[in-house]
């Protein structure tokens, strides 16, 4: 594997994870429990789509085959996506959504902080910019997890269930392969073993405040590095890709 091949994969991982979570956020549009939250979810989605565009465009430039951000988003099949498994988890109820977003925003918060000093200037600029935005996403999800966890008996038990259900997808966030190995040597990528303890601290702090119990690591899902996904991604893509597939090259 050449450095450029690794870089394309790395950018797709970052770009795809933002894109897929962005699509999940967009699914909340007009379905939010209150107007303010409906708007918040759409705004978070917008930030994520913006972030994703930077990475997918850059992946296309390095690849050099003329693929655009739109080609990557709308013309790839399930197995060609490298988003982490957590980002594709269905929205479920509001507690499921904010728990998933907490796990992901705590992850990107610490990851982008470190990636801000990547030797790749595009990735560094992307991370610096995105960090400002995901800080708000992290605060939003953390506050909701605390409010629900430390809320009523019912909201507590539902949110504990959300955390328990999602836990098996957390290990996939920290999985690495030869792409990472190659890019860490070049100071482009970050060793995710450095991110894990930071993520643990943030998650422990939030769960403790929320009076929720951190689940045990029993069975953990994996596979996103090789494009192996849960059944949820295919369903998401059929909706997201419907229009460009049904009407190829459609323009506004």
Partner 1 sequence: MPTATKHTTEEIWKFLSEIPDPEIPVISITELGVLRKVDIESSKVIVTITPTYSGCPAMKTFEDDIKFKLQENNILDFEIKTIHSPAWTTDWITEDAREKLREFGIAPPIKGTADKGILFDSDKKSIPCPLCKSKNTRLKSQFGSTACKALYTCNDCLEPFDYFKCI
Q: Which DSSP letter does residue 150 get?
A: T
Q: Which is nearer to partner 1, 103 or 126 (CB)?
A: 126
Residue selected from 36, 153, 154, 231 as contacting partner 1 according to rule CB under 8 A: 36
| Candidates 41-49, 64-72, 78-86, 234-242; binding stretch for partner 1 (CB under 8 A) | 41-49
Phi–psi pair at 3, nearest 5 degrees: -60, -40
Tell whether residue 68 is a contact of partner 1 (CB under 8 A): no
In the complex with partner 1, the residue whose CB is nearer, 82 or 144, is 144
Sequence-ordered alpha helix ranges (H) in 64-177: 69-74, 94-115, 121-149, 153-166
| CB-based contacts of 14, cutoff 8 Å, min separation 6 | 55, 123, 126
User: What gap in Å lies between CA 63 and CA 227, rounded to an integer?
Assistant: 18
Kindly state the smallest distance separating residue 174's Cβ from partner 1, in Å. Answer: 20
Q: Which of 11, 202, 207, 229 binds partner 1 (CB under 8 A)?
A: 202
| Residues numbered 85-144 forming contacts with partner 1, rule: CB under 8 A | 121-122, 124-126, 128-130, 132-133, 135-136, 138-140, 142-143
CB of 19 to partner 1, least distance (A): 11
Member of 48, 166, 192, 240 binding partner 1 (CB under 8 A): 48
Whole-angstrom CA distances from 10 to 4, 111, 188, 189, 232 are 10, 13, 10, 8, 22
Q: What's the rounded Cα separation, in Å, for the pair 46 and 83? A: 17
Which residues, in sequence order, are CB contacts of 111 under 8 Å at separation 6+? 127, 190, 192, 195
- For residues 4 and 204, which CB has a smaller minimum distance to partner 1 in the complex? 204
Which positions ≥6 away from 126 have C-beta within 8 Å?
14, 51, 54, 55, 58, 115
CB of 168 to partner 1, least distance (A): 25
Positions that interact with partner 1 (CB under 8 A): 36-37, 39-40, 43-51, 53-54, 121-122, 124-126, 128-130, 132-133, 135-136, 138-140, 142-143, 146, 202, 205-206, 209
């Amino acid at each position: 594997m050449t450095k450029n091949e690794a870089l394309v994969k790395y950018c797709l991982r970052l770009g795809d994870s933002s894109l897929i979570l962005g699509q999940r956020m967009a699914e909340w549009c007009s379905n939010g429990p209150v107007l303010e939250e409906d708007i918040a979810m759409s705004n978070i989605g917008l930030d994520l789509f913006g972030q994703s565009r930077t990475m997918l465009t850059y992946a296309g430039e390095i690849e050099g085959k003329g693929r655009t951000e739109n080609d990557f988003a709308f013309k790839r099949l399930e197995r060609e996506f490298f988003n982490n498994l957590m980002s594709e988890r269905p929205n479920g109820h509001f507690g499921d959504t904010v728990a998933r977003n907490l796990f992901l925003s705590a992850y990107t918060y610490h990851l982008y902080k470190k990636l801000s000093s990547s030797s790749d200037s595009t990735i560094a600029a992307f991370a610096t910019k995105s960090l400002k935005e995901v800080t708000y996403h992290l605060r939003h999800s953390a506050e909701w997890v605390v409010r629900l966890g430390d809320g009523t008996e019912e909201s507590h038990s539902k949110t504990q269930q959300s955390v328990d259900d999602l836990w098996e997808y957390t290990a996939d966030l920290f999985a690495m392969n030869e792409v990472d190995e190659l890019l860490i040597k070049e100071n482009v990528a970050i060793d995710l073993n450095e991110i894990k303890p930071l993520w643990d601290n943030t998650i422990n702090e939030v769960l403790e405040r929320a009076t929720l119990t951190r689940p045990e690591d029993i069975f953990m899902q994996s596979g996103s590095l090789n494009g192996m996904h849960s059944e949820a991604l295919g369903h998401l893509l059929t909706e997201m890709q419907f229009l460009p597939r049904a009407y190829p090259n459609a323009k506004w």
